[in-house]
Structure 1
Amino acid sequence: MTDWLRRRLNGLPPPVRQRVRRLWLSLVPIGQCAIAAGAAWWIAVNIFGHPQPFFAPIAAVVSLGLSLGKRWRRSVELVAGVTIGILIGDLLVSQIGSGTWQIMLVVALAMAVAVFLDNGPLIPMQAASSGVLVATLLPPGGVGGFHRAIDALIGGVVGMIIVALFPVNPAHRARRDAAGLLATMRDSARTLVSGLREGDADVVASALESARGTQEAINEMRADMRGGREVSTISPLYWNARERLARISATADPIDNAVRNFRIIARRALGMTQRGEPLRPEIVDILADVGEAFEVLREMMIAKPGEEPDQADAARVLRTVARKAKAELVSDSTLSETAVMAELRSMLIDMLMIAGLRRSSAMATLR
């Protein structure tokens, strides 16, 4: 059944396929938000007896969101922002009434207090929106304001409980993001090699453009790695995944650095190709090996524990490539060719670190 669905998905037009995959990957967070919203409302109504606790489901949904990262912080910021907005709104509206200038004053004071207390973006927005609700739609003062603050707290707590009881697999997204980036680098390296061998500046430029377009994916990878570690801390179901998450998260900086080094290599290669300056065939061959090494790293990243290739397998492949990247290859080369080799060796160090080596060990491999 899974293979059939995958074939059907791959048969869709690329824009539709991308949207379907995005929806598929978001199904668990969407389900978490839906369950948390309903549970928060039920608790506020049936246990605490609040007649219209709409802050409870709102707080639950905002504290979770679709992003896995910083859910603890979002919950705290949300409750704090709602509380600040409610207290200031209740205090002012009960004394000065409601109207245009009163709303302006409530929003200004609520956001000012929130900014003074914390530099996060969520607290000021929640403080302002809660203050506006009090100033326009909700009766101020008395027990109602206290109930609204309690509702926000209920929503935030319920959100965290849902994360603990129905968690997203903390390693899945992180591995998927890293593997996707490594696949992009594999393809970019192959394109770069093809362009260099053909002397085609347009092909080399397309490799550079592909590498330059990875920053959003890098940011998403980092966010999902942080979120995965947070889930493995909150949920007892994934406490045993902490060590694995730590290993996966340790690849974030080396992957980022490898992509940056590849961009420099591609940019210098583009300049050489445009000037009609050939790059030594031995270096181009090493770049071809680098492309295959990126594929091994991708397979390593998506392999389950105990499957191959593992970090040791990837490190063996990269050591073989590193032995070819000798500084002597450019002992009598131009400045541009020497610079390409220097960045190539630096990128190999990053790739060895993705495979689990410490930086000192990776550097020793290239001495």
Structure 2
Amino acid sequence: MNVDVQGRMRRLSVMAPSIVQCAVASSLAWVVAKDLLGHERPFFAPIAVVICIGVAVGQRLRRLAEMVVGVSLGVGVGDLLIIQIGSGPWQIALVVALAMGAAVLLDSGSLIVVQAASSAVLVATLLPPTGTGGLDRMVDALLGGALGIAATALLPASPAAIAHRHAAAVLEALASALRGTAEALDASDAELATDTLEEVRGTQKAVDDLDTALKTGREIASIAPTRRRLRRQLLRYETAAEPVDHALRNTRVLTRRAVVALAEGEQPPAAISLTLRELADAVLLFRDELAAGERPSGTREAVTGAAARLRDVPVEGTGLSTGAMTAQLRSVVVDLLLATGLDHETAAASLPPRPRPPG
């Protein structure tokens, strides 16, 4: 089995700030709850930290609310029932069912339901209620969640860095698809075009990860004072995200038409593969300009220059699939210009006029 060591190391570097936040804040939560508040076994405090921060990015404030509500429901139901009916198999079943049912009625969030059930199980088995134990556990959950948010604010990851890592993966996948399609056309290699199509079909997870990273970036920028100055740079990634996703989708269609064209013996003009290569270079330039926080003027110029080559594509005698590829290339050009911040009218105006058929 092949292991993508580099990919895993990149993922570790992305998650490292959250891991540090979890480690520091969970330890602090235990110390505060045990030594300052006097709670004997404040396990909910570090658990709340881990759930609130998590190694999965995004929606920490919502997870905090769900965590506190879930613990409160689970502990509350467990305390009320176990004191009266004791602990055992059927008692566990009843407590879990009631806690989960109450959580579902209260909110559709999965974390509330799971946390209510797990808290009820703990109360019914390992930690039967004693005195004010239920209230202490609710306080521990709230304390852990609050420290998790504080850790995010005081030890924040860079929103722009998080966004860039994920955006770079998407842009590199787009550039690879464009270049791979060009190489397949130049070599008249239908198998290479098919392989490229399979690769570009597998890019949706990278797009979804970018969307989640942007949500995390916005959240960090909103609660971490030291990161607010980076909101403008983060905004450039937010502007680019949707058009780049559209460019990937249009490239997927383009590559599929390339597979059909090569399989049917069409010979697309060299202008198409040249345009694809130049667009691939422009995408990588865009990645670098975003990382540097620069205005993407170089990208706009490169994309417009690549689009100008479409003037050399003949109107007739190229085949149905070649015509479809030309149309998709025009769409990719517009998508990339939108990603740089141009409005749709200006981006469309950058395209060369469609040549008229002779006669």
The TM-score, its normalising length taken from structure 2, stands at: 0.93
* Cα shift at 1:326: 4.5
Q: Quote how far apart the aligned CAs of 1:26 are.
A: 2.2
Asked if residue 341 in structure 1 is aligned to residue 341 in structure 2, the reply is no
SS in 2 for 1:142: coil
Mapped pair 1:130 → 2:119:
yes
Using the aligned pairs only, state the percent identity.
41
- Equivalence for 2:62: 73
Residue 209 (str. 1) matches residue 198 (str. 2): yes
Distance 1:62 1:114, change over 3 A: same
**1:28 aligned to 2:13?**
no
| 2:349 aligned partner | 364
Query: 1:325 corresponds to which residue?
Result: 310
Q: Kindly provide the CA deviation profile for residues 85-136 of structure 1, in whole angstroms up to 9, marking residues without a partner as x.
A: 1111111111221111111111111111111111111110000000100111
Match of 1:112 among 101, 112, 122: 101
Q: Name the amino acid aligned to 1:342.
A: A
| Aligned partner of 1:183 among 172, 175, 190 | 172
Q: Which residue of 2 aligns with 1:231?
A: 220
Describe the shift of the 1:16–1:335 C-alpha distance in structure 2 as closer, same or farther (beyond 3 A): closer
> 8 Å contact 1:229–1:246 — kept in the other structure?
no
In structure 2, C-alpha distance between the alignment counterparts of 1:123 and 1:209, rounded to whole Å: 38
**1:173 paired to 2:162:** yes
Q: How many aligned positions are there?
A: 351
Q: Distance in 2 between matches of 1:207 and 1:251?
A: 23
Letter in 2 for 1:75: L
Q: Which residue of 2 aligns with 1:97?
A: 86
Q: Distance in 2 between matches of 1:182 and 1:24?
A: 19
SS at match of 1:168: coil
User: Aligned equivalents of 1:341 and 1:327: distance in 2?
Assistant: 11
Q: CA deviation at 1:327?
A: 9.9
For residue 26 of structure 1, give the secondary structure of its aligned residue in structure 2.
helix
CA contact (8 A) 1:330 1:341 kept: no
Deviations 1:264-321 (Å, cap 9, x if unpaired)?
Answer: 0001110111111222222222222222222221222222x35xxx311211111222
Q: Which runs of 5+ in 1 are unaligned?
A: 1-12
Question: Could you tell me how far apart the structure 2 residues matched to 1:238 and 1:153 are?
Answer: 25
Q: Does 1:250 align with 2:239?
A: yes
- Look up the equivalent residue of 1:45 and give its one-letter code: K
Gaps of 5+ in 2: 354-359
**Cα distance in 2 between the residues matched to 1:264 and 1:274:** 15
For normalisation by structure 1, the TM-score amounts to 0.91
**Match of 1:313?**
298
8 A contact 2:58–2:213 mirrored in 1: yes
| Residues 269, 313 of structure 2: 8 Å contact kept | no
Residue in structure 2 matched with residue 10 of structure 1 by the alignment: none
Instruction: State the alpha-carbon separation in 2 of the partners of residues 89 and 365 from structure 1.
Output: 66
Q: Contact 1:176–1:302 at 8 Å: present in 2 too?
A: no
Distance in 1 (alpha carbons) for counterparts of 2:9 and 2:236? 30
Deviation at 1:68, TM superposition (A): 2.7
